Structure 1
Amino acid sequence: MFKNYYCYILIIPVFFMSMLMIFLSTSWFSLWLVMEINLILFISLIIFDKMIKFENLMMYYLVQSLNSYLYLLFSMLDMSTFSENMQNLIFIFLNFSMLMKMGFPPFIQWYIKLMNNLNWMNIFILSIIQKIIPLYILMSINYLINEYCYRLILLLLILSMFYSCVSSLSQINLKLIMSYSSVIQMSWIINLLYINEMMMIIYFLVYSLISLQMFFMFMYFDINNLNDLFNLKLTKTFNYLFLMFSIMSLGGLPPMSGFVMKWISIQSLFNLNSFFYLFFMILVSLISLFFYLRIIFPLYLFSSNSKKLNWKFINLNFTFPILFIIFSWFMYILLFYYEIL
């Protein structure tokens, strides 16, 4: 999987230390410095991936560097010398620089191409771990955003969801499907960031957990496209259930935990009377459910060993699916608590 195990083992601890450094940063410049350190470490990490291409790596570096310097430039400006409209424009650019770093349009092709040329472990790092620093910065400047800026950012998120949803419908490459899925899920998370930061953190943690178990299953069984699911040989029933529960939760099917988090986001938009945006976000969510079901159908109906599994008796092999369902119902308790508040 990797060209140099020793370099990989050396870089991983330092890489995660850089992620923790962001929470100790107390100034704009220190945040930028941590971002640059994290960028260098991540490039050092993925350069050992045998599937990586040099042009994708360079594109990633250029996009990340450009947006980092845009962030540094606008964060160093003295806001008191500008008019209110100019301040709003600067805040919008600050937000857009972080959104571009996370792979949102118009700079999305580098993200899709890079994800397609990584192994599943590095895909998890890029789609989840590398989003922590930009999300933290967005949280730190959240109080500066007025309603006009929020509406503009929400419009960008909806356009990103539509583009990702339409682009993923014709894909059979699971890495590309998960790449577009990541953009859609992050759109929900960022929307929740501007409404309720605590719920956003919970949503992000739930999404990270679901993605981790899915990517681990894909990596363990060497699944890279939908055709691999037709001949997938799983000898244990809980592997089927575990993978299907993860996909259904990611798609937002009730009673899974992913549905609860989307319901909280929908209710938050409803309370803000953002019915126009709410309609389109629900529409995209329903359409995106189609490509999640495309993963489940071959897994359940056509996989070579699916009819040989014992579905009649529950034993200890069902521990993980049962825990997964319990976790989903715990999310409903969270929803009830949110309703009370």
Structure 2
Amino acid sequence: MNPIVSTILISSLGLGTTLTFIGSHWLLVWMGLEINTLAIIPLMMRQHHPRAVEATTKYFITQATASALLLFASITNAWTSGEWSLTEMINPTSATLALTALALKIGLAPLHFWLPEVLQGLDLTTGLILSTWQKLAPFAILLQLHPLLNPNLLLSLGILSTIIGGWGGLNQTQLRKILAYSSIANLGWMITILHYAPNLTLLNLILYIIMTLTTFLLFKTFNSTKINSIASSSTKSPLLSIITLLTLLSLGGLPPLSGFMPKWLILQELTKQSLFIPATIMALMALLSLFFYLRLCYTTTLTMNP
């Protein structure tokens, strides 16, 4: 791709996210999300491969549906309350529609169906942008809307995401699909605690982005897209394989690594709110995620290609 075009597209990604961050009017926020979506589509298709085109088409249809739903929610709220401000969404139906649209945008279960397939069709660089940068704008909206959203719906979406993210990653051999299910599980942890402690959601999001960024860059360095292809990485670069091991275990939430801290704080907050059953389910599902990360760690550091 032409460097000038790449620069324009990446600048547009930054512009779209910035508009969403600073906007307090629904139309400005919606415009920021649309700029984000339209800027990443050419980056996704730059491979000119049938799988990339298919992934881009799926992504575009999903994001267009979510954007239409979000616009409908904001117009409905403006019609009933006369308010276009982001923090004045007083209509419960509009708030639920907005949450559904944002859940579809970021890939929360049960609206996650597009994320593993789309990530699988992309190269690691574009997959990295999709898994990290593209989550920022929707979460900026969610953090502003959190007092107005239904806590039971947030809890249901979060628990379902941790369950599907944990189970979905178990049988995968493709690294990008494993990272997609990891993303769904981590998003579940963030959305569960959003109503009760939004600061923990922000902390979890920052750590998730740092760890996912590191993981994608390491896999790109090893030029690996399947579990088998990272088997000989420990002999090629022992230092990088140790960093990979620590990053993967941190993503899985193994103590005393950094990924364990937000999970522990979230479980503690859920227990304070007397939500013992959701806390127990999420702790058990974290073990499933940890299992497929341990399998990756075993392949990375303790096995070799024949």
Which residues of 2 match residues 252-267 of structure 1 at below 5 A?
252-267=253-268
The residue number in structure 1 matching 2:70 is 71
What is the rounded CA distance, in whole Å, between the counterparts of 2:14 and 2:78 in structure 1? 33
What is the rounded CA distance, in whole Å, between the counterparts of 1:279 and 1:162 in structure 2? 12
CA 1:160–1:199 in 2, change beyond 3 Å: closer, same or farther?
A: closer
Q: Which runs of 5+ in 2 are unaligned?
A: 82-89
The residue number in structure 2 matching 1:174 is 175
Q: Deviations over 1:22-75 (max 9, x none)?
A: 222120111111111111111122121344433332221121111111111111
What is the rounded CA distance, in whole Å, between the counterparts of 2:138 and 2:8 in structure 1? 24
The residue number in structure 1 matching 2:276 is 275
Q: Which runs of 5+ in 1 are unaligned?
A: 305-341
CA 1:190–1:49 in 2, change beyond 3 Å: closer, same or farther?
A: farther
What is the rounded CA distance, in whole Å, between the counterparts of 1:167 and 1:109 in structure 2? 11
The residue number in structure 1 matching 2:44 is 46
Shift of 1:233: 5.2
RMSD across aligned C-alpha pairs, in angstroms?
A: 2.1
Deviates more, 1:194-203 or 1:246-255: 194-203
1:193 is paired with a residue whose SS is: coil
CA 1:195–1:13 in 2, change beyond 3 Å: closer, same or farther?
A: same
Given the alignment of the two structures, is residue 24 of structure 1 paired with residue 25 of structure 2, yes or no? no
The count of residues paired between Structure 1 and Structure 2 equals 297
The residue number in structure 2 matching 1:184 is 185
Q: TM-score, normalised on structure 2?
A: 0.90
Q: Deviations over 1:319-340 (max 9, x none)?
A: xxxxxxxxxxxxxxxxxxxxxx
What is the rounded CA distance, in whole Å, between the counterparts of 1:228 and 1:6 in structure 2? 34
Q: Deviations over 1:257-276 (max 9, x none)?
A: 00011101111111111111
Q: Would the aligned equivalents of 1:203 and 1:261 in 2 still touch at CA under 8 Å? A: yes
The residue number in structure 1 matching 2:84 is none
CA 1:235–1:66 in 2, change beyond 3 Å: closer, same or farther?
A: closer
What is the rounded CA distance, in whole Å, between the counterparts of 2:204 and 2:59 in structure 1? 27
The residue number in structure 2 matching 1:215 is 216
Q: Would the aligned equivalents of 1:115 and 1:175 in 2 still touch at CA under 8 Å? A: yes
2:233 is paired with a residue whose SS is: coil
Moved over 6 A (4+): none
Given the alignment of the two structures, is residue 9 of structure 1 paired with residue 7 of structure 2, yes or no? yes
Shift of 1:172: 0.9
Shift of 1:151: 1.3
Letter in 1 for 2:159: I
The residue number in structure 2 matching 1:303 is 304
Identity of aligned residues (%): 27
Q: Would the aligned equivalents of 1:79 and 1:87 in 2 still touch at CA under 8 Å? A: no
1:208 is paired with a residue whose SS is: helix
Given the alignment of the two structures, is residue 128 of structure 1 paired with residue 132 of structure 2, yes or no? yes
What is the rounded CA distance, in whole Å, between the counterparts of 1:176 and 1:54 in structure 2? 17
Q: Would the aligned equivalents of 1:247 and 1:292 in 2 still touch at CA under 8 Å? A: yes
Q: Would the aligned equivalents of 1:4 and 1:48 in 2 still touch at CA under 8 Å? A: no
